Amino acid sequence: MPPSSLFSTRFGPVILFVILIWVIEIVNLFTGHGLSALGILPRTPQGLMGIPLSPFLHAGLMHAALNTVPLLVLGALVSLRGVGTWLMASGIIVFIGGGAVWLLGRESYHIGASGLVFGYFGFLVGRVWYDRRLASLAVAVITVLLYGGLIWGVLPTRWHVSWEGHLFGLIAGIIAARVLSEGKR
C-alpha cells in the first residue's frame, strides 16, 4: 500500500495524530520540555488551555513511546466505526476526561496521551453494553485481551503518574460509548 493511500484510509488520522505527538515531543525536547507547562494545571485559568493540548505533550521520549503502540492499536479499533466516530470519541474523551482532571486533579501538570488510551479502552469495552452487537463484543474481547491490564492504571500507585487522567479518561470513554452508540440502551 503506497504511503498516500495509507493516510487516506480510516486509520490515517490515527497515524497522523501519533506522528504529531512525536513531532511535538521532539520540539519539546529541544526546548527543555518548556511546552509541558501547557498541560493541564488543575483549577487554574492557564490549565484550561491544557485540556486539548495535554494529549500532545509528554514528559520525555519514553513517555511518548509508551503511549504510541496503545494509541495506534486502540485508536485503530475505534476508527473501525469510521473516522467520524474516532474524531467524536476522541473529542469527548479529551474534553470530558481533561475537564474532570482540571476540576479534580492534583495540583501538578498533567500531560500525556494515556488519558486518551484509557478513554479508547473504556469506549471499546463500553460499546458492548450500549450496542449489544457481535462486532462490538469481538472488538471488546480483543481490547481486553490486549490491554486488560491497563485497568490497574486508574489506581494512585505512583506519584509521577496522572492516575486521575487515566481514571477520568476511562470514564469519558464509557460516556463516549453511550453518546455515540447506535442502539441506545
The residue ranges of every structural domain in the chain are 3-179
Residue with cell 490491554: 147
pLDDT one-digit tens code per residue, 117-171 = 999 999 999 999 998 899 999 999 999 999 999 989 888 888 888 999 999 999 9
The three-state secondary structure class of 17 is: helix
Provide the residue count of the chain. Answer: 185
The three-state secondary structure class of 110 is: strand
The answer to whether 67 and 9 are in contact (CB under 8 A) is no
pLDDT one-digit tens code per residue, 66-118 = 999 999 999 999 999 999 999 999 999 999 999 999 999 999 999 999 999 99
State yes or no: pLDDT of 3 exceeds 90: no
Q: For the residues 36-53, what does the mean pLDDT come to?
A: 97
Rounded-to-integer distance, Cα 47 and Cα 44, Å: 5
Q: Please state which CATH class domain 3-179 belongs to.
A: mainly alpha
Tell me the CB-side half-sphere exposure of residue 157, using CA atoms within 13 A.
8
State yes or no: pLDDT of 29 exceeds 70: yes
State yes or no: pLDDT of 4 exceeds 90: no
CA distances from 130 to 120, 126, 157, 161 (A): 15, 7, 31, 31
Looking at residue 155, what is its pLDDT? 85
Nearest to 183 by CA among 123, 132, 121: 132
The three-state secondary structure class of 54 is: helix
Residue with cell 518548556: 34
Q: For the residues 30-47, what does the mean pLDDT come to?
A: 96
Q: For the residues 35-59, what does the mean pLDDT come to?
A: 97
Q: Which residues contact 6 (CB under 8 A, 6 or more apart)?
A: 12, 15
Looking at residue 160, what is its pLDDT? 84
**Torsions phi, psi for 48 (to 5 deg):** -60, -35
Q: Say what the pTM is.
A: 0.93
Q: If you compute the radius of gyration of the chain from its CA atoms, what whole number of angstroms results?
A: 16
How confident is residue 5, by pLDDT bands cut at 50, 70 and 90? low
How confident is residue 10, by pLDDT bands cut at 50, 70 and 90? confident
Rounded-to-integer distance, Cα 38 and Cα 45, Å: 11
